[in-house]
Chain A
Amino acid sequence: TQLLEQSPQFLSIQEGENLTVYCNSSSVFSSLQWYRQEPGEGPVLLVTVVTGGEVKKLKRLTFQFGDARKDSSLHITAAQTGDTGLYLCAGVFRRAGGTSYGKLTFGQGTILTVHP
């Protein structure tokens, strides 16, 4: 069973501060996804990273996939109260040959609270 360690589990910061959430594994992923979840709702995809070393930006959010495809990070610049929520990383494993495997492993999640 592949495991994803996500840290920190809780993060409480002031508006305007920067923060980074980490997602680490001993396994190699074919791709890694970041989701955000609001209370009472299902997760919503933020980004998918596929290539080792890949960096993607979504406004104030920067996502990075490690060179070895075993780790990823989410960095938020100048956090806003609207960033408050649960952030989840999910690793995807793909069969040899390129067809999708379908098994996803999620990290434990990071509960982010941004105070005004």
Chain B
Amino acid sequence: EAQVTQNPRYLITVTGKKLTVTCSQNMNHEYMSWYRQDPGLGLRQIYYSMNVEVTDKGDVPEGYKVSRKEKRNFPLILESPSPNQTSLYFCASSHDPGVGEQFFGPGTRLTVL
């Protein structure tokens, strides 16, 4: 089954404790992207990757890091989480985001205390 998987689905952590949210897709898509979703703000793009070893900032990259060492994986790293990073995070992948469908993962609910 074609899908995007994220882990963990739910995470409660404390300020400053490094964490990684994994994202994996099995559709051989070149493009992958991370978003955060907050009430009243829609989805905001954090980082995206056009292909392996190619990443670029979205609209809200501060406090986040990403890497794209393999085509299928695109982890999101929070080196020192803060409470304002409490949010619902989505990973997505696509063959071409301009004309093709973005497939979204199920989301990761992160709470930073």
Residues on A facing B (Cβ under 8 Å): 1, 4, 6, 9, 30-31, 33, 40-45, 48, 50, 88, 90, 92, 94, 100-109
A103 and B45 contact, Cβ closer than 8 Å, known pairs A42-B92, A43-B104: yes
Partner of B41, one of A90, A102, A108: A108
A42/B107 contact (C-beta < 8 A), A50-B99, A101-B98, A106-B43 known: yes
CB-defined contacts of A92 to chain B, threshold 8 Å: 97-98
Chain B residues whose C-beta falls within 8 Å of the C-beta of A104 in the assembled complex: 33, 45, 48, 58, 97, 102
- Contact B56 A100, beta carbon cutoff 8 Å: no
A102 is contacted by which of B31, B35, B107 (Cβ under 8 Å)?
B31
B4 to chain A: which residues have CB within 8 Å?
A: 42
Q: Please report the C-alpha to C-alpha distance between residue A94 and residue B45 in the assembled complex, in whole angstroms.
A: 16
Question: What is the size, in residues, of chain B's interface with A at 8 Å between Cβ atoms?
Answer: 28
Asked whether A102 lies within 8 Å of B50 as measured between CB atoms, the reply is yes
User: Would you give the shortest CB distance from A49 to chain B, in whole angstroms?
Assistant: 10
B6 nearest CB across to chain A (Å): 9
How many whole Å from A26's CB to the nearest CB in chain B? 16
Docked Cα-Cα span, A4 to B44, in Å, equals: 11
A30 and B101 alpha carbons, distance in the complex (Å): 15
Q: With A102-B48, A107-B42 in contact, do A45 and B97 touch (Cβ < 8 Å)?
A: no
Would A106 and B40 be within 8 Å (CB), given that A41-B107, A42-B90, A101-B98 are in contact? no
Cβ contact of B59, chosen from A6, A94, A105, A107, cutoff 8 A: A105
List 20 additional contacts besides A100-B50, A109-B42; criterion CB under 8 Å. Answer: A30-B98, A33-B102, A40-B106, A41-B104, A41-B106, A45-B102, A48-B99, A48-B100, A48-B101, A92-B97, A92-B98, A100-B96, A101-B98, A102-B31, A102-B33, A102-B48, A106-B35, A106-B42, A107-B42, A108-B40
